[in-house]
Amino acid sequence: MALSLRISSSPLICRATLANGDNGRNHHAKDAAFIRRAADLAEMSAGLTSPHPNFGCVIATSSGKVAGEGYLYAQGTKPAEALAVEAAGEFCRGSTAYLNMEPGDCHGDHAAVSALVQAGIERVVVGIRHPLQHLRGSAIRELRSQGIEVNVLGEDFESKVLEDARKACLLVNAPLIHRACSRVPFSVLKYAMTLDGKIAASSGHAAWISSKLSRTRVFELRGRSDAVIVGGNTVRQDDPRLTARHGQGHTPTRIVMTQSLDLPEKANLWDVSEVPTIIVTQRGARRSFQKFLASKGVEVVEFDMLNPREVMEYFHLRGYLSILWECGGTLAASAISSSVIHKVVAFVAPKIIGGRNAPSPVGELGMVEMTQALNLMDVCYEQVGPDMLVTGFLQPIPDLIPVIPSEDATVEIDPSVNPFESSIIFFYKTWDLYGSFSNFSPHPIRMPCGEDNDDYMTWPSVEHYYQANKFVGVENPMAHDCVEKIRTARSPEEAALIGRSTLRQKPELVRNDWEDVKIEVMYMALKCKFSTYPHLKSMLLSTAGSVLVESSPHDLFWGGGREGEGLNYLGRLLMQLRSEFFDDSSVSAENTFLA
């Protein structure tokens, strides 16, 4: 359903709303205002690192004063709730915490819930439940079991103001909600056009239609996306860079969709020193050019059927949440026809260029009557410098309430469902069911400093340790700096970014024996992680009999690959570790028996 929110028919809910009268309305207005603030804070969480679920938290005292606020910096860093609790200090006791979204306890550490409980929070108001089914409802249940009153907008009470606040919560995590409901990432089509509807002159020249201010907004949009995609023709015409140049945060992967692979040898997108580029093309297209691209560090992925839907399903598997389409009208029409575009962001500049053959933002859709036109929903208008920015949705943000049954409901529907039973267990992103198996999961490990050194050092995640080890022991101050930069990176994503880009840009800093030792390095780190955290060890042991596969479709060494062609070394090491843990426990059981 569209952003217009579900109106509950529950008599209980209606009674609660009516009985409260004016007082209830005041409460609703206050709750709505704080939830909107939590959603605004969550918005600040977007674009700091590779996009992740956006969380914000406000703690308000009973007199309605804000005592503390927080938002999540990156997946695996301190939860928004814990930051808000720290900021509010002693004012937490008896206060209300407002969360745009139910916390997702992916890793069994209950960090967000514990922070609220220990701080003495009396009531929690939640904008939306967690969209991912395996996380849905569990934090709310946990908070309630600790005696905290929890109200969920749209479930426990409703009113127009609360409906608007809930809408803000849906918007701020639209990509995650789409991930939960569909097999494609949330896609935004962005273009800049003249007042007479052209995206370039008839010569193909397009720099620039929109103002500098508008283009800075585009950099921000890029920073909030996992990837930016263009068609082959835009590469040939514009030689774009497609980087986020607003000065901070994350830069998206660049994707080029080309059937012919007839692309120039010199192009800004082939410089992957800062940001990766992925070419998606038709299987068998210009193999020699594919080799050339590979030599530049550009990844090429071949498709039997190159079309926007197949490509988006592939990037969904790769864990991408949001894609920005900055292509011309040819590819845009194809993407709209394939129903993969969810939102449109159009900058309209007060300029007229004319030209019978000048391109327009959307090519042929096969429509012949105006009644067939696609009507945008939730349209917004904003002036940006001299330009007008028009945004709207081509497809509604799905409402999760009717789409995904809660964890309880799933068990009610099918009591035999056991999420931990399967012959092949895939894991990849940390927010997935087995996300704790990922090297990005936020489980610090304490590792020895070196062979001749008895000291230990703590690493925020396996990924931090693994990436840093590429440069350990190299007699070069730059290598030492790099190790330290990786160790102190604020998230595993940042650690991976530094490690991978330094390896690409400065291969002389990588230790000579890296290829020989990297499996051992990973194994030691995993052993430490699963030995340190008993709940992770139990989870690993609970997978007995199942094959573990890191479902990375692109990492053919550590992951399983797109069609099972990957070596799956991460899965293999975890299975090795699992059998070692089993051997250890049977030896200790035997010893107990003998004793």
Ligand X SMILES: Nc1c(N[C@@H]2O[C@H](COP(=O)(O)O)[C@@H](O)[C@H]2O)[nH]c(=O)[nH]c1=O
Nearer to ligand NDP, 30 or 236 (CB): 236
Shortest distance in whole angstroms from residue 378 CB to ligand NDP: 22
Cβ-based nearer residue to ligand X, 163 or 326:
326
Q: CA dist 373 to 31, 77, 365, 369, 370, Å?
A: 39, 45, 10, 7, 5
Torsion sign (Cα): 35, 39, 40, 44: positive
Binder among 238, 399, 432, 555 for ligand NDP (CB under 6 A) = 238
Pairing of strands 227-231, 66-71: unpaired
Query: Which two structure tokens, joined as six digits, stand for 181?
Result: 């409901």
Residues 266-325 that bind ligand NDP (CB under 6 A): 306-308
Contact yes or no for 101/126 (Cβ under 8 A): yes
- Give the nearer residue to ligand NDP in terms of CB position, either 306 or 388: 306
The answer to whether 492 contacts ligand NDP (rule: CB under 6 A) is: no
Local structure of 118: helix, strand or coil: helix
Q: What is the closest distance, in whole angstroms, from the C-beta atom of residue 235 to ligand X in the complex?
A: 8
Q: Using CB distances below 5 to 8 A depending on partner kind, what does residue 259 bind out of ligand NDP, ligand X, none?
A: ligand NDP
Annotated catalytic sites, by residue? 81
b/e per residue 353-364 (b: at least 16 CB within 10 A): beeeebbbbbee
Dist. CA 128–CA 176, nearest whole Å: 12
Query: Which C-beta is closer to ligand X: that of 270 or that of 459?
Result: 270
Q: How far is the CB of 299 from ligand X (least distance, A)?
A: 19
262 binds, among ligand X, ligand NDP, none (CB under 5 to 8 A by kind): ligand NDP
**Shorter beta-carbon distance to ligand NDP: residue 197 or 405:** 197
Secondary structure of residue 211 in the 3-state scheme: coil
Q: How far is the CB of 135 from ligand X (least distance, A)?
A: 36
Would you state the structure tokens that stand for residue 273, as one six-digit string?
A: 């020193």
Taking CB under 6 A as the criterion, the residue among 61, 216, 259, 268 binding ligand NDP is 259
201 vs 359: CA distance, rounded Å: 7
C-alpha separations of 417 from 111, 421, 537, 542, 544 in Å: 27, 8, 22, 15, 17
Nearer to ligand NDP, 111 or 306 (CB): 306
Question: By the criterion CB under 6 A, which residues form the site for ligand X?
Answer: 192, 206-210, 214-215, 218, 230, 234, 238, 240-243, 326, 347
Tokens of 107: 């890793």
Please tell me whether residue 228 binds ligand NDP under the rule CB under 6 A. Answer: no
Smallest distance from the beta carbon of 338 to ligand NDP, in angstroms?
8
Closest separation between CB of residue 208 and ligand X, Å? 4
Sign of CA dihedral 94, 95, 100, 106: negative
The reply on whether position 209 binds ligand NDP by CB under 6 A is: yes
**Three-state secondary-structure class, residue 137:** coil
| Residue 242 contact, options ligand X, ligand NDP, none, Cβ 5-8 Å cut-off depending on partner type | ligand X
Residues that bind ligand NDP (CB under 6 A): 191-192, 199-200, 204, 206, 209, 230-234, 237-238, 257-260, 262, 306-308, 326-331, 334, 359
